[in-house]
Structure formats: structure tokens, C-alpha cells
Amino acid sequence: MLSMAEVARRMSVSKRTVLRWIESSILPAVRIGDVIRVDPQDLDQMLTHHRVAPRAESGGEAVEDAGE
């Protein structure tokens, strides 16, 4: 089980962000006494579920800026 600090370090986010993920049910966690712990498999599953698909290739063509 990982502490909130360990999750924050692995994800390069603050402990407050980890707590928000837990409070919003994005990341499952358990409370053991006064300590909140996260199962590493739950963290991996959250990452898999929230993975962003790669952008499609533009075919080498330049994309014009809409502001020009």
C-alpha cells in the first residue's frame, strides 16, 4: 500500500491533488486509523482508465493558425 505522499511523488503532483482524486472517487483508497493508503494496482488502473489517446498524424502538412 502506498501513502498519499508516495502517490504524489510518483505522479509529480501535490498531496492535495491526490486527496482530491480520492474524495472524487477517481482513485480508490482505504483509511487505516488516521492514515490513507492507496493500493498500487488501483493507481495503475486509474492511469490506464485516464490514458489519453495519441493525436492523429497531420500527414506532414503544416497546420495554419486560425488567427492569421
Does the pLDDT of residue 26 top 90, yes or no?
Answer: yes
Q: What are phi and psi of 6, to 5 degrees?
A: -65, -40
Amino acid 54: pLDDT: 85
Task: Report pTM.
Answer: 0.73
Does the pLDDT of residue 6 top 60, yes or no?
Answer: yes
- Looking at per-residue pLDDT, the higher value among 65 and 16 belongs to 16
Closest CA to 28 of 47, 10, 51, 9: 47
